[in-house]
Amino acid sequence: MAKLYFRYGAMNSGKSTGLLQAAFNYEERGQRVLLAKPATDTKGERDIVSRLGVTRQVDFLIAVDESAEEAFAAAAAQREEPVACLLLDEAQFLAPVQVDQLLRIAVERGVPVIAYGIRTDFLTHAFPGSARLLELAHSLEELKTICRCGRKAMFNGRKIAGGFVFDGDQVAIDGEAVTYESLCATCYLQESGGRLGT
């Protein structure tokens, strides 16, 4: 049985780089993969963008109200060879029902699905897509990165004009006048004045 995998980590933990490496590994062995991301992620438009400077165009985008399963089926039908794996970037932006559909792709269609994303937003709240992946995925893998102090980073601090902010919409794409810094719990609490989830 194929499985649904969720590989998650704070910003700068190498999620997109890992996805692109996984795609390379499959293709080096002559196997076909499909790459996708939610249309909500406007960074790079139709590209998966690694902070190392590597980019690759996705095979399809998943719109907010679109069936992930139908989008996958349409993209898979474009080529003759079978799909060995679906690789999905920025999975936190999926709706819970779309994550349910990813599980169906793995279990009912027999195609492994590897979803990459962040677990929580800048206020430490779970993204709906990430919460559902944590509930459903057969396999969970945390990709680690470090805070500026050298400890393990687990939170994403949002910065506007170089200063940390702790209010605003859940989604603000990195690079659109907004940046993020990966922080450990200690540094996050120091920057937020001790607040969590406000």
Contact status, residue 119 vs residue 93, Cβ threshold 8 Å: no
Residue segments in the chain with a per-residue pLDDT below the cut of 70:
42, 44, 173-176, 198
**CA separation (Å) from 12 to 42, 79, 89, 162?**
18, 33, 14, 17
Catalytic residues: 90
Three-state DSSP state, 56: strand
Contacts of 122 (CB under 8 A, 6+ apart): 155, 156, 157, 158, 165, 166, 168, 180
Q: Phi first, then psi: what are they for 38, rounded to 5°?
A: -65, 145
Contact status, residue 36 vs residue 60, Cβ threshold 8 Å: yes
Q: How far is 196 from 169, CA to CA, in rounded Å?
A: 16
Q: How far is 104 from 175, CA to CA, in rounded Å?
A: 34
pTM of the model: 0.92
Which uninterrupted H or E stretch holds 18?
helix 15-28
